[in-house]
Amino acid sequence: MSLDRLAASALCGFAKLLTGVRALWIGSAPDARPRVYFANHRSHGDFVLIWASLPPHLRRLTRPVAGADYWLTTPLKRYIINRVFRGVTIDRRPDRHGPNPVEQMGEALAAGESLILFPEGTRNLGEGVQPFKSGIHHLAKAHPEAELIPVWIENLGRVMPKGSVIPVPLLCSLSFGPPLAAQDNESRDAFLARARAALLDLAPPED
């Protein structure tokens, strides 16, 4: 086993131990076809939890989409995102000069890999789910063969809210919903609203 893989299993094991995460496959089952898992975003550990909850043979085929501005800043983070998780690091700045993020993500899908995507664009520190950025819409149009699977991450944002040093040992769960059905002639905003609603459908009732 290579060092990268060893680091991956260690990180997965730690995440599972800390959060007791439970994967609930409510509307879909694990599958090797190209997929975009899209989830609510509360913490930097979100994609680790999704990745760790996939069966090991699918982990190698599944790549998190991560912001270059956070993940490429130190050697350790670079190692984790590039080598351990084989992430697709994208430049989120509007005035970027590098490659187009949608094309970068599309290359992975075209190669038969799956993606983990947070369409809110950035971590949401409040309640609920922020409006989706348009990237997921472009991606869905360019790659109709990829399944869009909503994944609701419950509690991870509460384990360690922004500004705290010690985590509360809460149990997290991931709900994998049914694939988003394709619809012809749907406007961008209607698509984004529908995808966001599919994700919110998986959230537990607000009290």
Partner 1 sequence: MNPNHDLIAVFGGIFGLLALFSAIGMGLKWRVSPGAPHAVIDNLNARIKAWWAMIALIGGAIWIGKGGVIALFAFISFQSLREFVSLTHTRRGDHRALLWSFFVFLPLQYWLIATDWYGLFSILIPVYAFLLLPISSSLGADTQRFLERAAKVQWGLMICVYCLSHVPALLTLDIAGYTGRNALLVVFLVLTVQSSDVFQYVWGKLLGKHKVSPAISPSKTVEGLVGGVLTSTAVGAALWWITPFTPLEAGLIALVINVMGFFGGFVLSAIKRDRGVKDWGSMIEGHGGMLDRVDSISFSAPIFFHIVRYWWT
Asked if residue 171 binds partner 1 (CB under 8 A), the reply is yes
Choice from 164, 183, 185, 187 touching partner 1 (CB under 8 A): 164
Asked if residue 13 binds partner 1 (CB under 8 A), the reply is no
Coil/strand/helix, residue 36? strand
Crossing angle of helices 135-142/101-110, nearest 10°?
A: 40
- Which of the ranges 5-13, 61-69, 165-173, 183-191 carries the binding residues for partner 1, by CB under 8 A? 165-173
Q: What is the largest distance, in Å, between two alpha-carbon atoms of the chain?
A: 48
Choice from 161, 182, 188, 190 touching partner 1 (CB under 8 A): 161
Query: Residues 150, 199: contact at Cβ < 8 Å?
Result: yes
Coil/strand/helix, residue 25? strand
Choice from 10, 168, 190, 200 touching partner 1 (CB under 8 A): 168
Measured from the CB atom, is 32 or 168 closer to partner 1?
Answer: 168
Q: How far is the CB of 11 from partner 1 (least distance, A)?
A: 21
Give the count of beta carbons closer than 10 Å to the beta carbon of residue 42: 24
